[in-house]
Structure 1
Amino acid sequence: MTRHLGTGERIVGTEALHGGTTAEMRRLTIGGPGGGGTRDLVLRTFVDAEHAEDWLHREADALTSLAETGVPAPARVAVDPVAEQCEYPSLLMTCLAGRTVLDDEGVRLRLPVLARHLVSIHALRPVERPRDYVTLTTADTVVTPEAADAAAWAAAIDVIRGPVPPWEGRFLHRDFQPGNVLFEVAHPSPSGPRITGVVDWAGCSWGPADLDVAHCSTVLALLHGPAWGLRFAEAYEEAGGVLAARASERLYWQVRDGLACSEEVRSVARPWRAAGRTDLTARVVEERLDAYVTGLMNALG
């Protein structure tokens, strides 16, 4: 994709970025003509993904739509969904300031900031609405962790056997969670954590706000402990967000996302350990998922 660089620019350095589960991410340092200044771009590459072309089209379209909003998302530079110019399907975009923060320290302050930002995303009304959301998990594909509370999991599985609750459409990120949110760290604001960017828009969809809230809740539960996952929906409402009116409807979406994670616990935990959270072994994450699903059934069931 070097033909999309400016006249006289060239790639002078690359750095692998951690955290991705479906694609490889690299920061490209671009040198200016005549040895001038540098700028950074990010190359997102799908090396082995069956739906790479679809994901890249969706993400590129989402970035185009977001360019006219106040949501801090990367700007699209170039996209090669079928690997005509690159070795693999790829997306080139601008590099945002900040970094992901996965540590337990400071989660109490970050939680309401995450909630407020998600409310602002759900308030967007793009000219071209993205496709409706898709969920792949079924009652028959759920993987109950070893030593899990069998009764709680059986009850949770029964929840998603039921009909899909009615929902009001919202603009969804579909993977809004700490691993896809960048925070300002170089010069932290005295007023508290500040988000500098939201990345990975490949799953951008149209659907119920509950779905995004449920996903972020699940990830918070696995990263920081079940109590934080159970708290996030409250923080979302405190920030002005609107969820399903009935507790049973909210439970459906929360449980659906928690159970979906059961099928990919090991792949979810791996990039967290690579990013420094070596305490998050597959066993620990499975235990937290069990505690979270059980907590949902106890609190909302």
Structure 2
Amino acid sequence: MTNGFGGLSRQALDWVESKWQGAVLEEAVPLEGGTSSLLYEIRASKDGEQQSVVLRLHHKGEWLDQEPDLARHEAMSLELAEKSGIAAPRILAFDESGEACGMPAVLMTKVPGAVILPPAYDAAWLDGLAGTLAEIHRHKAEGFPYEYFAYNDARRLERPKWSRVEGDWMRAFYIVAAGGPPVEYCLIHRDYHPGNILWEEGRVSSVVDWVNTCRGPAGVDVGHCRVNLAQLYGTRIANEFLDAYERHAGESFVYDPYWDLLSLIDTLDGKPAVYPGWKTFGMAGLSDELVRYRLDEYLMSLMDRFDDF
């Protein structure tokens, strides 16, 4: 291992140097907030100035067993984002197999901005979040080889013993298992939530973490963001986000609560708890108990929407 480079191996550093030609590497700093991969900001002197890039290393064997092409997937997603004019990192290089770098890797530009999680309701922040997502969905991404699939099979989910409304969750599983409405696919980020949005001077500066990008229903992105907002701030803010998204998307989006329900169920993985990244970004006051309470509350709000349809 190499001192001053965050524990990165000599093999990884050699690979970065080979792809970032002319750069004299000076430091590697682990980036916080990610849970599914290792992220580093690598700083160097290049062309007489200080520059930085970001290196993502896919280290989770169980994820790679399911999707061995994660590095290629993100590289293609970043290429598509650049061609579409979406503010995102630019791909510099990738190692799909990990043979060259030591583990599957993506090297990309470092984009400006920082994650902001307001301590309370912020209308301008919520509007920027919604408007940016609506812009992503304007792209149809025809020919992009990755298409949406659900992470959880609703038919196999067990009764959530942690919940106060177990029966309603079971009803939700049955609804999702029955299948959704026909929908036109578009470009979806697939992990759109406040922790993947960077801000600068009150505006969204970039969207990061394009590992799972695909063509799919816009409602999946909307629903995923709403689940995160419901846990962070409660159902009312999640509903405010939906209203803002509908304003930005206009007639191109037809809301159906099915995609909200599916997105909610897709987040279930054991007993719900506070997402570690939120604490990293300064969100205080959350507890596992509060998150579970809010998920129950959000579920019931969705079931009410089904009753209205």
TM-score by length of 1: 0.88
Report what 2:165 is aligned to: 149
Does 1:234 pair with 2:240? no
Indicate the RMSD between aligned Cα atoms, in angstroms. Answer: 2.1
Contact 1:115 1:232 in 2 (8 A): yes
Report what 2:181 is aligned to: 165
Unaligned runs of 5+ in 2: 1-15
Report what 2:292 is aligned to: 286
Report what 2:253 is aligned to: 243
Does 1:295 pair with 2:301? yes
Q: Which amino acid aligns with 2:261?
A: V
| Distance in 1 between residues matched to 2:281 and 2:148, nearest whole Å | 29
Bigger CA drift: 131-140 or 20-29?
131-140
Q: Which runs of 4+ in 1 moved over 4 A?
A: 264-268
Q: Which amino acid aligns with 1:44?
A: R
Residues 45, 266 of structure 1: alpha-carbon distance in 2 compared, 3 angstrom cutoff: farther
| Distance in 2 between residues matched to 1:264 and 1:147, nearest whole Å | 12
Report what 1:115 is aligned to: 130
| Distance in 1 between residues matched to 2:59 and 2:185, nearest whole Å | 33
Bigger CA drift: 174-183 or 135-144?
135-144
Bigger CA drift: 10-19 or 101-110?
101-110
The superposition leaves residues 220-278 of structure 1 with CA deviations (integer Å, 9 ceiling, x where unpaired) of 11122221122222211111243336xxxx12111111122222565761222233324
Report what 2:24 is aligned to: 10
- Equivalent of 1:39 in 38, 51, 65: 51
Residues 40, 256 of structure 1: alpha-carbon distance in 2 compared, 3 angstrom cutoff: same
| Distance in 1 between residues matched to 2:226 and 2:161, nearest whole Å | 19
Say which SS state the counterpart of residue 288 (structure 1) adopts.
Answer: helix
Contact 2:39 2:56 in 1 (8 A): yes
Deviation at 1:178, TM superposition (A): 0.6
| Distance in 2 between residues matched to 1:143 and 1:280, nearest whole Å | 24
| Distance in 2 between residues matched to 1:226 and 1:24, nearest whole Å | 32
Bigger CA drift: 273-282 or 70-79?
273-282
- Equivalent of 1:65 in 65, 69, 80: 80
Q: Which amino acid aligns with 1:235?
A: A
Report what 1:258 is aligned to: 264
TM-score by length of 2: 0.86
Unaligned runs of 5+ in 1: none
Report what 2:12 is aligned to: none
| Distance in 2 between residues matched to 1:285 and 1:129, nearest whole Å | 36
| Distance in 2 between residues matched to 1:124 and 1:292, nearest whole Å | 29
The superposition leaves residues 10-30 of structure 1 with CA deviations (integer Å, 9 ceiling, x where unpaired) of 221222212212111111111
Q: Which amino acid aligns with 1:182?
A: L
Residues 86, 125 of structure 1: alpha-carbon distance in 2 compared, 3 angstrom cutoff: same
Deviation at 1:127, TM superposition (A): 5.5
Report what 1:199 is aligned to: 208
- Equivalent of 1:95 in 103, 110, 116: 110
Q: Which amino acid aligns with 2:110?
A: C
Give percent identity, aligned residues only. Answer: 29
| Distance in 1 between residues matched to 2:270 and 2:211, nearest whole Å | 18
